[in-house]
Amino acid sequence: MSDSQSRPPHEDGTTDDRQPIQRLAARTADVGGISINRILPQRARRLIGAWCFLDHAGPAIFSADDASNAGPSPGNRGMRVGPHPHTGLQTFTWMLAGEILHRDSLGSEQVIRPGELNLMTAGHGIAHTEESLADSHELHAAQLWIALPYQDRHTQPRFDHYNELPRWTDQGADFTLLTGAFLGHQAPTLAFSPLVGIDLFSPGNSHPTLPLRTDFEYGVLVLEGRLTLGKERFDSNELAYLGSERLQVELALEPGTRVLLMGGEPFGDSILLWWNFVGHNKAEIIEAQRQWEAGDPRFGEVPGFDGQRLMPPPIPWATSGN
Ligand code: MN
């Protein structure tokens, strides 16, 4: 913070060449039969505030008639993710198209539809499943993980569903506030650290200027369309990491462009991500994995899902101590 005295932010944050914009590309991964774009974490960037994981699924259309397909064809049935555990994080699912059924070991059963947000606080431990509804033939969603601060890492697990979020139109763009506060709006979303998440959709060409907090770091992911920042263009599944100490950012959005702005106070605790666990040291992760493998009641059972529990790969560093 005191550093901002010696490095005052520029009015035009986007052309502050002392802090160039970092371009991050996605890699593809398979999640429950769906090919998704994984943007975080990657070697060049682990975190944006407490945001520690970012998957972008779709937009994708599935076959309307599975029976017409000869043999198994991954993707045609949509997404189907069997029971798996989480610790030390919140899963944050923002739905843009399609319908997904969430079930968890607390007994929650919730369909998430476009414009809605599911937030599962894993805390000490939870297990869940996610599957496309049988009559849902498309999917477009972002799933993020939010790391819990050290003092909250063992908080009691809970599940929250938000179907009404603050929405407004400004400077030619449609805003939905997913978490945190922005321009006098406040999202209802449960948060354990200072952070913000905003979905912006631009029906036409727009150039919204967004005020930023200098103590937050920010990233902008293009979900669809094209974003220009200064002279740099970013296409779908590219993330522009803006860093901190900016007063504002001007986004140039082409017609039909949708972006996700994530921000937060740089996360003070060092964390480890392994499989579906966030831990603050190796011993925490080793214990969580051992307990999941042993069917320990820490994670409970997911009622109603017909399928096998997912199992993690062996931890490569499990014998290297703490
Ligand atoms: Mn999960």
pTM of the model: 0.91
pLDDT in tens, 222-274: 999 999 999 999 999 999 999 999 999 999 999 999 999 999 999 998 999 99
Q: How far is the CA of 6 from the centre of ligand 1 (A)?
A: 42
CB-CB contact of 315 with 281 (8 Å): no
Cis-peptide, bond into residue 41, ω within 30° of zero = yes
pLDDT in tens, 32-62: 888 899 999 999 999 999 999 999 999 998 8
Q: Which amino acid is at 153?
A: R
Q: What is the mean pLDDT of residues 300-317?
A: 94
Q: What is the mean pLDDT of residues 182-204?
A: 98
Sign of the alpha-carbon torsion through 299, 300, 303, 306? positive
Q: How far is the CA of 262 from the centre of ligand 1 (A)?
A: 20
Q: Give me the phi and psi of 293, to 5 degrees please.
A: -65, -30
Residues sharing a CB contact under 8 Å with residue 27, sequence separation 6 or more, in sequence order: 37, 38, 42
Q: How far is the CA of 66 from the centre of ligand 1 (A)?
A: 25
Per-residue pLDDT at 29:
93
Q: How far is the CA of 311 from the centre of ligand 1 (A)?
A: 13
Q: What is the mean pLDDT of residues 164-176?
A: 98
Residues sharing a CB contact under 8 Å with residue 207, sequence separation 6 or more, in sequence order: 171, 172, 250, 251, 252, 253
pLDDT in tens, 107-155: 999 999 999 999 999 999 999 999 999 888 899 999 999 999 999 999 9
CB-CB contact of 258 with 223 (8 Å): yes
Q: How far is the CA of 45 from the centre of ligand 1 (A)?
A: 21
Residues sharing a CB contact under 8 Å with residue 114, sequence separation 6 or more, in sequence order: 95, 96, 97, 98, 140
Per-residue pLDDT at 4:
39
How high is the mean pLDDT of the chain? Answer: 91
Q: How far is the CA of 33 from the centre of ligand 1 (A)?
A: 14
Encoded tokens for 237? 């599944």
| Residue 66, pLDDT above cutoff 50 | no
Q: How far is the CA of 31 from the centre of ligand 1 (A)?
A: 10
